[in-house]
Amino acid sequence: MRYKAILFDVDDTLLDFQTGNHNAVNQLMDELGYHDSDRYEQYEAINLKCWAELEAGLLTQNQLKLARFVRFFDRYPVAGDPRWAAERFVELLGRQSILLPHALETVSRIAQKLPVAIVTNGITAIQRSRLGLSPLKDYVTEVVISEEVGVSKPRPGIFTIALDRLGVRPSDALMVGDGVNSDIRGANNAGIDACWLNPSGKPLPEGVRADYQITDIRQCVEIAMDGIGDGSSFQMVE
C-alpha cells in the first residue's frame, strides 16, 4: 500500500460540527435569555473570526474560548457573564457527537489495515468528550488536539506530532479533511499528501495543492488502501 497511516480532520469531515454547534449555541442562548431571531448568525460571525485569528497565530486556543463570548456580549444586548457562557458552551458542545454519513464505515474499514489518527484544531474538553461519545474512538490510534499540543493547523508542527506518535514519515501519510486552509494547506506545509473532502465542488484556491479531491468520504478508502487505485471514484489532481 502507498500509505502507512491516514490522518483525518474531525469537524465536518467525520462529525457533523455544523448541526452540533447550532444545537449548542441555541441552547446556550436560551439559557442566557437571548432570543433574537439572528442570534446564531450573530454569534457565528464572531466565532469564525476568532478561529481565523487562531489559524493566523493572533489568538491562542485558551484566548479564543473566552474572546468570542466577550466580543459577543460587547456587541449584542446579552445579559450575563461571558466567562460563564464560555464554560457552559464547552459543556453543551461536548455533548454533540453526531456522525456524518458513512464516516464510521470509512474509518473502520481503513483502520483494519492502517493506523488512523485524528488531527484537529479544537478545544480539548469539547473534542475529547465528543470523540469519547462516538464509536469512532474504537478505530482511532492517536488523537492530536491543538489545545493539548500548543500548535494549530495549518502549522506543520501539529502534523509532525501526529506522525511522530505513529512512527511514520510525512511521505508515507495522507491527510483527509474539508478545510482548505487548516487541512489541505496544513498538509502541504508538512509535506503530507492531501485529500480534500469537497462535496460542493468548490474551486481550490491558488497556492494550495490537493493530491486528491473527493465528494464522498467513502472515496478515501480506495485512496488509502491502494494509494491511487484506478481513479474511478475520485479526482486525482495533477
Per-residue pLDDT reduced to its tens digit, 97-120: 999 999 999 999 999 999 999 999
Rounded CA gap, 196 and 208, in Å? 11
| 10 and 32, same domain (yes or no) | no
Distance CA 63, CA 46 (A): 14
A 10 A CB-CB count for 105 gives 13
Pair (214, 130) in one structural domain: yes
Tell me how long the chain is: 238
Q: How far is CA 132 from CA 44, 138, 170, in A?
A: 25, 9, 28
User: Do both 112 and 188 map to the same domain?
Assistant: yes
**Are 87 and 149 in a shared domain?**
no
Radius of gyration of the chain (CA): 18
As a whole number of angstroms, the distance between CA 50 and CA 60 comes to 10
Last residue of a domain, one of 69, 94, 119: 94
CA atoms within 13 A on the CB side of 155: 14
- Give the residue numbers annotated as catalytic, written as ranges: 9, 11
Residue type for position 118: I
Measured distance CA(104)–CA(139) in Å, rounded? 9
Strand, helix or coil for residue 142: strand
Say yes or no to pLDDT of 84 above 70. Answer: yes
- Pair 146, 232 in one domain: yes
Domain extent for 81? 17-94
Same domain, 61 and 33: yes
Q: What pLDDT is recorded for position 61?
A: 85
Same domain, 212 and 131: yes
C-alpha cell at 33: 435569555
User: Which CATH number fits the domain that encloses residue 48?
Assistant: 1.10.150.240
Same domain, 9 and 124: yes
Instruction: Mark whether 111 and 226 lie in a shared domain.
Output: yes
- The residue among 70, 94, 118 that closes a domain is 94
Q: Rounded to a whole number, what is the distance in angstroms from the first to the last CA of the chain?
A: 21
pLDDT-derived band at 55, boundaries 50, 70, 90 = confident
Q: Is the pLDDT of residue 230 over 50?
A: no
Domain shared by 34 and 55, yes or no: yes
Q: Are residues 196 and 218 in the same domain?
A: yes
**What number is the average pLDDT over the span 17-43?**
98
- Supply the CATH number for residue 127's domain: 3.40.50.1000
- Across the range 50-68, mean pLDDT stands at 92
Per-residue pLDDT of 144-164, as tens digits, reads 999 999 999 999 999 999 999
Number of domains the chain contains = 2
| pTM for the model | 0.89
For residues 53 and 80, what is the distance between their CA atoms, to the nearest angstrom? Answer: 25
List pLDDT tens digits, range 201-225.
999 999 999 999 999 999 999 999 8
C-alpha cell at 111: 483502520
Question: Of the residues 74, 94, 114, which one is the last residue of a structural domain?
Answer: 94
pLDDT at 238 over 50: no
What mean pLDDT value characterizes the chain? 94
> Are 125 and 75 members of one domain?
no
pLDDT at res. 109: 97
